[in-house]
């Protein structure tokens, strides 16, 4: 198979990258599962934006404070300054952000934010954005989207990426030649016992980077979301109770039904407080009280959360719900520059699998969608600039495919390689950080 651009992943970063590339190019998008089974579709709370120039300083500081000032300041500036252009594109693609009665954007607030600056669509903002991007991709004659098609490895010569080895839905192995390859494979939640991620997201791109000695960065920077619905024995992904709920006034209680924390602390600090309360109470969860939010607001802003809790036997207008922290987001990843280039020529990484330093050690709520879109767009612009000087090279004629033939063994080896690398990096953490982290590992 040959293509101009190979994009691996059908989340918002992969789709937006494809849409930002010239329509004259042949673009192939692979997705490991179906086109909608990615974490972009799951994002509830919203997407940050620079709503006014007067908010720039506060937004910048909020992002750095949440990230423990380990953020790449240039990346943060690029993200914030690019936000209005991204919003403009999304609206043009049909994304329906919540509006005020006068037609202006409505904004909400989440933990770690000093102002309301988050655009949203009910409590399914990720689905609203990603589904509209997907609709646009499906209209493009130059874009082919292959479902249930997995990236197994990249093909390289020296330090240049020439294409990939893939596995089609029938289990057959194929090679793909491409001018550029973009890794947009998402997070690592499938490595964890409790995670809000889809189970098939197991850090495949990280395993490839480890094998090819592609630079990684901060791979032990893994965010635990403070509040997911507690379901004992649940082996599926954890259902997230959006931070926006706390932004609108929801409270957290210990087993004595008394508040024990400021609910709008950054996620890592709030998670630590919840773990401490659970230890104190000898409990597997704490309580979250949504009764502080008017019922009409609950039903209009958080209909899916209300419906899920009802399905689980809880009426959020009358009783508290049990919540527990779960693995949620990956701040580290494949190291990239401000154009999303990896340390290997002609190979890019965008979205959650990449690390451009925006988030530092801890991600500020609702920065993930924006960061993914901004740096996917920058990758597309950079590839477009270099297209005239890059020519597809022939793949090695004797490329061995036998290492990939035992699929189950290959995937297990890949998973273990990623876990081993994360655990090695994690050894540098303090005992407290390590204990909270390791209890969530598979």
Catalytically active residues are 267
Nearest to 372 by CA among 212, 133, 165: 133
Give the β-pairing of 160-167 and 173-183.
Answer: antiparallel
From the CB of residue 231, how many other CB atoms can be counted at a distance below 10 Å? 15
- Give the pair of three-digit tokens for residue 188: 């690592």
Which residues on adjacent β-strands are paired with residue 8?
30, 183
For residue 328, give the H/E element and its range.
strand 321-330
Buried b (16+ CB within 10 A) or exposed e, 161-188: bbbbbbbeeeeeeebbbbbbbbbbbbbb
CA 130: distance to chain centroid? 12
Say if CB 174 and CB 166 are below 8 A apart: yes
Say if CB 5 and CB 28 are below 8 A apart: yes
Which residues on adjacent β-strands are paired with residue 348?
182, 341
For residue 243, give the H/E element and its range.
helix 243-247
Sequence-ordered list of residues with C-beta below 8 angstroms from that of 276, at least 6 positions apart, any chain: none
Q: How far apart are CA 245 and CA 108, in angstroms?
A: 10
3-class secondary-structure state, position 266 = coil
Longest distance between any two alpha carbons in the chain, whole Å: 68
Find the angle CA(8)-CA(367)-CA(150) to the nearest 5 degrees: 15
């Amino acid at each position: 198979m040959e293509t101009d651009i190979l994009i691996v992943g059908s989340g918002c970063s992969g789709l937006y990258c494809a849409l930002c590339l010239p329509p004259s190019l042949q673009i192939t998008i692979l997705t490991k599962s179906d086109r909608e089974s990615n974490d972009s579709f799951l994002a509830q709370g919203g997407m940050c934006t620079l709503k006014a120039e007067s908010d720039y300083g506060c937004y910048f500081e909020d992002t750095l404070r949440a990230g423990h000032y380990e953020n790449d300041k240039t990346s943060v500036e690029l993200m914030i300054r690019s936000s209005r252009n991204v919003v403009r594109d999304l609206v043009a693609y049909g994304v329906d952000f919540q509006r005020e009665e006068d037609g202006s954007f409505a904004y909400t607030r989440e933990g770690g934010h000093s102002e309301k600056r988050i655009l949203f669509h009910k409590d399914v903002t990720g689905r609203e954005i990603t589904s509209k991007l997907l609709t646009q991709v499906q209209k493009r004659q130059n874009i082919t989207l292959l479902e249930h098609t997995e990236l197994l490895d990249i093909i390289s010569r020296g330090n240049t990426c020439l294409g990939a080895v893939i596995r089609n839905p029938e289990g057959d192995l194929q090679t793909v030649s491409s001018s550029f390859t973009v890794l947009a494979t998402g997070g690592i939640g499938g490595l964890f016992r409790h995670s809000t991620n889809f189970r098939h997201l197991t850090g495949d791109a990280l395993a490839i980077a480890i094998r090819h000695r592609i630079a990684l960065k901060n791979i032990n920077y893994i965010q635990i979301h403070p509040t997911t619905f507690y379901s004992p024995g649940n082996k599926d992904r954890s259902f997230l109770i959006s931070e926006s709920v706390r932004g609108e006034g929801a409270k957290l209680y210990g087993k004595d039904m008394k508040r024990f924390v400021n609910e709008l602390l950054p996620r890592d600090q709030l998670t630590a407080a919840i773990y401490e309360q659970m230890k104190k109470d000898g409990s597997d969860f704490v309580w979250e009280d949504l009764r502080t939010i008017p019922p009409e607001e609950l039903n209009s802003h958080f209909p899916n959360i209300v419906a899920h809790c009802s399905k689980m036997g809880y009426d959020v207008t009358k009783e508290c719900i049990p919540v527990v922290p779960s693995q949620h987001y990956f701040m580290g990843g494949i190291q990239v520059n401000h154009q999303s280039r990896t340390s290997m020529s002609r190979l890019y990484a965008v979205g959650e699998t990449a690390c451009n330093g925006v988030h530092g050690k801890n991600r500020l709520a609702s920065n993930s969608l924006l960061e993914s879109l901004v740096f996917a767009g920058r990758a597309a612009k950079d590839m477009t600039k270099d297209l005239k000087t890059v020519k597809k090279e022939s793949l090695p004629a004797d490329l061995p495919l036998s290492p990939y033939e035992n699929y189950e063994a290959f995937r297990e080896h890949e998973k273990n390689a990623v876990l081993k690398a994360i655990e090695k990096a994690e050894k540098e953490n303090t005992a407290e950080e390590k204990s909270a982290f390791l209890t969530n590992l598979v």
